[in-house]
Amino acid sequence: MVDESSIKGTLKLIRDVVYKNLTNEYLPFPMDKALATKWAYEAGVPKGGRVILYTSYMYQMAPVFKSFEKLLPTVGSLARIGFLASLGSRLVKPSDAEVKRASTVLKNIYAITRASRPGVGYLYEEEPYSGALLYELGFIDEFKEYGKRLEEFFKIRGVEEIITADPHTTFSLANYKRLIGFSIPFKNYLELPPIGVTGKGRFVIHDSCIYSRFLNMYDLIRQLTKDAGLEIVDDEKVTGRGIGFCCGGPLGPLNSKISDEMAKARANSLKSVNPEALVFCPLCYENLSPYIPVKDFAEVISP
């Protein structure tokens, strides 16, 4: 049976702490921005611009988002004693290896984007979080409010087109468009022409639920991977569109035990098709990687 009181406790923290922090700082909790933006400094991405690559910190902070359930009570108690802002980078910090991996992924996504959007920029330390967590946890009204502020935020900075790097951010913008008429055009980087994208390896695809079943990218992703030279092994029983399985990520904030069990179950079924899996989402990577060798599409290709 669902643990009602634990759900209520988490939701209260999200509303009282995370939403408040989002309203004030455009971030769900304090983050080490130097770490999150390092990749862009290294790649020499222009600052700002009419077209921006919008990471919403998903690749950089995925390890933190995964341990959100464990993190929340601490964030909550620090917020209660007014300590949250001074927390800075100490609490929320991915490891060096994780930062390095995220950097490779984002540099490749940037390169793919730049091929069809020369001059694409990045907001660096100013970049706001997408608000995905609010929608996924049912804070629909708060999500809509935040979306209005976000649109304003981008418009003030002269942003005319947004290129997203992950499914959760893309879906947030799609939901803003649907719910509040978010008017800035956006595209996911996978929808851009894959100019010169090549890679190798044999994988079973673990579809992001959002990409395959909400943004209708199931076929596009298969085409893209094949065109890039990757060998894809599909099995209708495991990777079919209607029977695909979640990585467990969305349950993380509410129940990490079930979330982990789901990841393990998914990894086992993927293994029955191929020893190595390919993902397109930083949260899928975080959840599945303890149980099966996984690569992100953006780290097995060279643009």
Partner 1 sequence: MSWLELITRISTNNYLEVERILKSHPYVRDAAKRLRERKMAVIENLDDYVKATMESVSRIGGHAYLAKDKQEAREIVSKILGDKKLVVMSKTNAAYEVNLREFLISQGKEVWETDLGEFLVQITNGWPSHIIVPAVDMNRERAAKAIKAIDPGISENASIEELVAAVRRFLMSKYINADAGITGANAVAADTGAVILVENEGNIRMVTVKPQVHIALAGIDKIVPTLADAFDEAMVQAAYAGLYPPTYVNLTAGPSSTADIEHTRVSPATGPKEFHLVLIDDGRLEASKDPVLKEALLCIRCGRCYFSCPTYRLLGKDWISTKSPYNGPMGVMWNYITNDDPWPSFYCTHSGGCREVCPMGINIPDIISYIKGKGTKQV
Binding residues for partner 1, per CB under 8 A?
Answer: 1-2, 4, 7-8, 11-12, 15, 135-142, 209-210, 212-214, 236-238, 240-246, 248-251, 254-255, 258, 261-262, 265-266, 269
Residue 14: CB minimum distance to partner 1, A: 8
Greatest Cα-to-Cα distance within the chain, rounded to the nearest angstrom:
54
Nearer to partner 1, 49 or 248 (CB): 248
> Counting Cβ atoms within 10 Å, is residue 68 exposed (0-12), middle (13-18) or buried (19+)?
buried
Residue 208: CB minimum distance to partner 1, A: 10
> Counting Cβ atoms within 10 Å, is residue 171 exposed (0-12), middle (13-18) or buried (19+)?
buried
Nearer to partner 1, 63 or 253 (CB): 253
Q: Which amino acid is at 201?
A: G
Nearer to partner 1, 60 or 255 (CB): 255
Backbone CA torsion sign across 30, 34, 40, 46: positive
Closest CA to 165 of 255, 81, 61: 61
Residue 211: CB minimum distance to partner 1, A: 10
Residue 207: CB minimum distance to partner 1, A: 10
Residue 3: CB minimum distance to partner 1, A: 9
Nearer to partner 1, 108 or 255 (CB): 255
Output the CA torsion 233→266→139→20 (10° steps): -100
Nearer to partner 1, 7 or 192 (CB): 7
**What H or E segment, with its residue span, contains residue 161?**
strand 161-164
